[in-house]
Amino acid sequence: MRISTSSSNCFWLVIVAATAFCFLVSAQQAAAQSVLAEDMFQVHLDAAKAYQLYADASHDRTYKLNEQPLFVWTNPRRARGQVGHLFVWMDGEYPAVVGTIFSFPWQGKPENQRIVHEMHALTEERIFPVNKVALKAWIPTAGNRFYPFPDTPPVAPGNARRQLQARQLARTFEAHTIDREGKRWELRLLGKELMQYEGPDRIGALFAMLGDAGADPELLLLVEAQRNENQWQWRYSPVRMTDQEIYLRIGTTEVWKSEHDEKNTRFHNAESTYDRFQDTLHHLDLNDKDDSP
């Protein structure tokens, strides 16, 4: 069957118009979520500030919240649109805890934002959190785990060269998630680290791997050089930030995974160093968005 030139042109015009419309809708959704992220920042910050995170059961030493978020993210594909802020709590020079406070339209209503907490320990010490506001207590039973890098070059002298090495090592990782429907989602490494840190015994950086279903970090990676006596060694820690199953590789070799079972669920891992829960509902007054003078 021969298709006339005019019919063919009409067909491609329809395709181009439909594509342009999709891009326009996506741009409008992104702009709307960016505004929502600004509106929800103080709410998310207040939720983070409600945590008192201690290094001991006697509550003598506390970790300090950095009120400037490491990352602001949106995910228009999940729960009718999520917006979140990733915060870090510091132990002197070193990161001790990360937490994403995010929200989504409860029952599809944008004026009702359900707040969600997603917390993860970074320190090898057990953390003792106190939060008198949240609807659920976070109770880790152990510290975070680190793993040695296989076949890594010696740690370079000088902090600048070590940070360069950390970036190079981070690029060796590949990861993917499996959602509840069994669909695979590839993760990509964010081009720049979220933060760097340096101290007398450790130097490293925190990296994020984003899903292709949105711009939220599904996995964080701590990559650091640690000094043991007079020797420095590279190590890493995968930091789960998702309710999906997740798999991490160096090259083609799987080095870590988080699969769901009775102890490692969608909402926490076995030691509760990772914990995720829904918290309170926040009402937005959308009438305040009237731009009229």
Residue 16 banded pLDDT, cuts 50, 70, 90: very low
Tokens standing for residue 239: 């930091």
**What is the structure's pLDDT at 51?**
98
For the segment 224-242, the average pLDDT, to the nearest whole number, is 95
For the segment 205-225, the average pLDDT, to the nearest whole number, is 92
DSSP class of residue 268 equals B
For the segment 273-277, the average pLDDT, to the nearest whole number, is 98
Kindly report, residue by residue over 79-124, the tens digit of the pLDDT: 577 899 999 999 999 999 999 999 999 988 889 999 999 999 999 9
**What is the structure's pLDDT at 27?**
42
What is the Cα–Cα distance from 174 to 38, expressed in whole angstroms? Answer: 32
Kindly tell me the sign of the dihedral angle through the C-alpha atoms of 186, 194, 91, 100: negative
| DSSP element (H, E) containing 269 | none
Pick the most confident of 17-31, 81-95, 200-214: 81-95
For the segment 179-208, the average pLDDT, to the nearest whole number, is 96
Please determine, for residue 268, whether its predicted confidence score (pLDDT) is greater than 70: yes
What is the Cα–Cα distance from 51 to 63, expressed in whole angstroms? Answer: 10
Three-state SS string over the chain comes to CCCCHHHHHHHHHHHHHHHHHHHHHHHHHHHHHHHHHHHHHHHHHHHHHCCEEECCCCCCCECEEEEEEEEEEEECCCCCCEEEEEEEEEECCEEEEEEEEEEEEECCEEEEEEEEEEEEECCCCCCEEECCCCCCCCCCCCCCCCEECCCCCCCCCCHHHHHHHHHHHHCCEEEEEECCCCCEEEEEECCCCCEEEECCCEEEEEEEEEECCCCCEEEEEEEEEEEECCEEEEEEEEEECCCCEEEEEECCEEEEEECCCCCCCCCECCCCCEEEEEEEEEECCHHHHCCCC
**What is the structure's pLDDT at 79?**
52
Q: Among candidates 227, 225, 231, which has minimal Cα distance to 196?
A: 225
**What is the structure's pLDDT at 292?**
44
Please determine, for residue 33, whether its predicted confidence score (pLDDT) is greater than 70: no
Q: What is the pTM of this model?
A: 0.86
For the segment 2-14, the average pLDDT, to the nearest whole number, is 50
- Whether the CB-CB separation of 44 and 102 falls below 8 Å is answered with yes
What is the Cα–Cα distance from 139 to 269, expressed in whole angstroms? Answer: 11
Residue 212 banded pLDDT, cuts 50, 70, 90: confident
Residue 249 banded pLDDT, cuts 50, 70, 90: very high
Please determine, for residue 186, whether its predicted confidence score (pLDDT) is greater than 70: yes
For the segment 236-254, the average pLDDT, to the nearest whole number, is 97
**What is the structure's pLDDT at 3?**
47
The proportion of the chain whose per-residue pLDDT surpasses 70, expressed as a percent, equals 84
**What is the structure's pLDDT at 34?**
55
**What is the structure's pLDDT at 75?**
82
Phi, psi of 33 (to 5 degrees): -70, -30
| DSSP element (H, E) containing 9 | helix 5-49
Please determine, for residue 270, whether its predicted confidence score (pLDDT) is greater than 50: yes
Please determine, for residue 278, whether its predicted confidence score (pLDDT) is greater than 60: yes
**What is the structure's pLDDT at 148?**
96
For the segment 235-252, the average pLDDT, to the nearest whole number, is 97
258: Cβ contacts below 8 Å, ≥ 6 apart: 238, 240, 245, 246, 247, 264, 269
